[in-house]
Amino acid sequence: MKSDRPGYPLVPALTSRSGRLLRFAVSLGLLAFVLSRVPAAGLLEVLSSAHAPWLWGAVGISVLIELVLATRLTVIARVQDIALPLVRAVQIDLAAKFYGLFAPGSNLSASAVRAYKLARQPGDPLGAVASIVFDRLIATASLGAVGQAFWLLEGPPDTASVGLVLAGTWILPLTAYLVAAKTRASGRFVAWWHPAWWERTTQSVARFRDMRVGPLSGIAAASMTVHLLDVTLYTMLAASLRIDISFVSMGWIATATTVVTMLPISVSGLGLREGALVYLLGLYGVSPSSAIALSLLYFTARYLLTGLLGGILEVRGEGRPEVRGQ
């Protein structure tokens, strides 16, 4: 019997040999350019001087972020009548982090993997894909809103372009959601691409459009919490390196840096993150060595450790999907 599950080859597409080679080349090129401006001895000295208690605290914050992300995913999936236990949501999130280590645009690629895995859970696979699209829209919009709020409080006058980018980061996804929900644009696109999915796609979008205030407020609060915890993570790591910068200033810098790393031209944002932090922290007198050290510590705590754990779970089979009928 032919399955009605959409055959999205997301994971294979994200890990094609030519794509990996190109993105590794871009990442290495960007890293080489940034590191060429920093003495290796100075960078190693900064990293070796990191204060351990702050580092352990940062790891704890990173774990808390994963739990909040998983909780948000269970609430979004429930809107589409997909039963997703919290443990399974954590497994999906960690697996997404693992594949994101090798794929372009760490946030976007991880979302693609989440869609692939959630679509193989019991329930409507199109509803699962709609869940991840909605998750990405609200996550991006909340990122821009948090970042612009911080920028309005303490952003330097000569960074107006950053403020505009942060504004666009929440305005564009919000507009996309309103257009899709109010005009049925998403349904028409799917009808053109795959006519048999028209009704199901329209129903999936309608579930989010007609969502009650309670779930919507919870999803928005979880998204805001993730970004605030992310700023806290950056601030704690900065404190471990004795970088003197306020939480509010770090708020707009961290969110702007995240926006930059969403560009799908490098692996896990490597090179992009370092370059953004060198420039933005430099506005506050932070040395390139300290900025790059902060970037490497953040990547380790936020992506590398959780990604490796996700890889271990994948190898052990913990990330295998629960398919209806099995």
Render pLDDT for 177-210 as a digit per residue (tens, 0 to 9): 777 666 555 555 544 444 555 556 666 666 666 6
Percent of the chain with pLDDT over 90: 44
Q: Residues 223-249: what's their mean pLDDT?
A: 96
pLDDT of 28 reads: 63
Q: Which residue in 270, 312, 307, 299 sits closest to 58, CA to CA? A: 299
Domain boundaries, position 97: 51-313
Give the model's pLDDT for residue 120: 82
How far apart, in Å, are the Cα atoms of 189 and each of 136, 150, 223, 272, 320?
A: 19, 37, 28, 33, 31
Q: Are 84 and 118 in contact (CB under 8 A)?
A: yes
Q: Is residue 45 part of a domain?
A: no
pLDDT of residue 27: 60
pLDDT of residue 324: 46
- Straight-line distance from the first to the last Cα atom of the chain, in angstroms, rounded to the nearest whole number: 14
> For 123-167, what is each residue's pLDDT tens digit?
777 777 878 888 888 899 999 999 999 999 999 989 999 999 999
What total number of domains does the chain contain?
Answer: 1
Report the pLDDT value the prediction gives residue 56, as an integer from 0 to 100.
Answer: 95
| Mean pLDDT across the chain | 81
- Give the position of tokens 């708020």: 251
Mean predicted confidence (pLDDT) in 255-259 = 95
Amino acid at 141: A
pLDDT at 226: 96
Q: What's the pLDDT score for residue 164?
A: 94
Residue 90 has pLDDT above 90, yes or no: yes
Residue 2 domain flag = no
Please provide the DSSP assignment of 240-307 as one string. HTT----HHHHHHHHHHHHHHHTSTTSBTTTTHHHHHHHHHHHTTT--HHHHHHHHHHHHIIIIIHHH
Domain for residue 216, yes or no?
yes
pLDDT tens per residue across span 291-317: 999 999 999 999 989 999 998 988 887
Q: Does residue 103 surpass a pLDDT of 90?
A: no
Q: Which long-range contacts (CB under 8 A, 24 or more apart) does 74-78 make?
A: 75/215, 75/218, 75/219, 75/222, 76/131, 76/134, 76/135, 76/219, 77/118, 77/121, 77/123, 77/128, 77/131, 78/215
Q: Which residue has the higher pLDDT, 31 or 246?
A: 246
pLDDT of res. 7:
44
- What is the pLDDT, as a whole number, of residue 323? 47
pLDDT digits (tens, 9 = 90+) for 207-229: 666 677 778 888 989 999 999 99
Residue 21 lies in a domain: no
Cα–Cα distance for residue pair 275/257, rounded to 1 Å: 9
d(CA 272, CA 2): 44
For residue 1, what pLDDT band results from cuts at 50, 70 and 90?
very low
Q: What percent of the chain has pLDDT over 70?
A: 73
pLDDT grade, residue 109 (50/70/90)? Answer: confident
Q: What is the pLDDT of residue 13?
A: 44
